[in-house]
Amino acid sequence: MDLHILLPFKVFLKISGVKRIVVDTNAGSYGFLPQRLDCVAALVPGILVYESKEGVEHYVAMDEGILTKKDEYVEISVRNAIAGANLGKLREAVESEFVNLDETERDVRKAVAKLETEFMQGIKKLRQ
């Protein structure tokens, strides 16, 4: 699979040959393999795990966002992301930077995520 992680201001990661991806969504943790059906998912702050073609697992701490999978292409758009090999430090980064938001910002983010999801589902319906 091709994995692209996009931030509002730059391309954070662009890699080919990904064997599998595991992300945290608002419905729980999901794994993606190349044969999985196309889909759209709302992401919550957490750790993304992807396995490269060499069989090495890589970790990325991510803020809220949206994931789209079409054929062999997975695109993730998030507000912020931090890559690293130390899971303990990444978990701390998720908790300190992404989860501990004030209540107003949390409500705004929920509303925006809902709008983004509905928008993407509308586009998907138009293509069918």
How far apart, in Å, are the Cα atoms of 41 and each of 8, 26, 69, 86?
Answer: 18, 8, 9, 26
CATH domain 2-127 topology: ATP Synthase; domain 1 (2.60.15)
Question: What's the pTM?
Answer: 0.72
How many whole angstroms separate alpha carbon 48 and alpha carbon 103? 25
116 Cβ neighbours under 8 A, 6+ residues apart: 42, 66
Segment 73-95, tens digit of pLDDT: 999 999 889 888 777 777 777 77
Q: How confident is the model at residue 102 (pLDDT cuts 50, 70, 90)?
A: low
How many whole angstroms separate alpha carbon 11 and alpha carbon 49? 18
Where are the domains positioned within the chain?
2-127
With pLDDT > 70 as the criterion, what percentage of the chain qualifies?
94
